[in-house]
Amino acid sequence: MDEEVIPVLYVENARTAVAWYARLGFAEQWEHRFEPGLPAFVEVARGPVRLFLSEHEGDARPGTLVYLRVRDVDAVAAEFGVPPQTAPWAREIELRDPDGNRLRVGTPTAR
């Protein structure tokens, strides 16, 4: 097993969040509920990158910032209709998911 870090993001509605993250290239891997009608806990993945999306209050704070390094930030920028900015370390965009979580998405620049 490889060790990894998986950020947990709070979401009000897992279905809405999964659909939004699909636009970033993430696919739902699984969903867990302790019982029908209770809050959902969902894993989404984009290749080897994973996020946990949790409806459980207290699992994470709204407004969390996650940095996502991608091969082609311009394609992501086009999907969301935002212009990338160039910083010394990367071309980047910043997005907010439906629950206010911030995602800074970037492609490193050659040094």
How confident is the model over 56-104, as pLDDT tens digits? 999 998 889 999 999 999 999 999 999 999 999 999 999 999 999 999 9
What pLDDT does residue 19 have? 98
Residue with tokens 């990158």: 49
Q: Could you report the per-residue pLDDT of 19-32, keeping only the tens digit for each?
A: 999 999 999 999 99
Q: Which two tokens stand for residue 12?
A: 């009000």
Is the pLDDT at 2 greater than 90? The verdict is no
Sheet architecture: strand order including 49-54: 8-10, 49-54, 41-46, 27-32
How do 102-108 and 27-32 pair as beta strands?
unpaired
Planar angle of CA 59, 103, 15, nearest 5 degrees: 55
Is the pLDDT at 111 greater than 70? The verdict is no
- Residue 56 CA to residue 60 CA, distance in Å, equals 8
Average pLDDT, the chain: 95
Residue with tokens 């891997």: 29
